[in-house]
Structure 1
């Protein structure tokens, strides 16, 4: 597909604000900073969103067909185990 991209490396960060300290705002808007949420309800989900997007876990749970609630942040250790 020959899609142009830029790669930015940074240490593990837990907030968008901490990420911005390492890579700046990357121009903001579409293609700017993003956040990744590692979630769990019976199985694991990774949700990516633009940094300024509010993610309502109850609404997301319903849109994924998982019912009204129960979708929550997954334990950090589980991600490492899944990626091995």
Structure 2
């Protein structure tokens, strides 16, 4: 069972991810600071959830490349 995110957190997270894709990393702390600078969030909990969602998306986006490299190494 995974985390359940509200519609607003997903919507805001996707917008930030698309606009600031070059600044987003797989490091949660850096993403948290980015969210703090970009969005005027009304609570720390919401800011952290958005940063967590963005971090998760960044990790998922980088995962297929790693899997492909591992498969190539196994084939050799």
TM-score normalized by the length of structure 2? 0.32
Q: Which has the higher helix share?
A: 2
TM-score normalized by the length of structure 1? 0.30
Q: Which has the higher strand share?
A: 1
Higher relative contact order (CA 8 A, sep 6+): 2
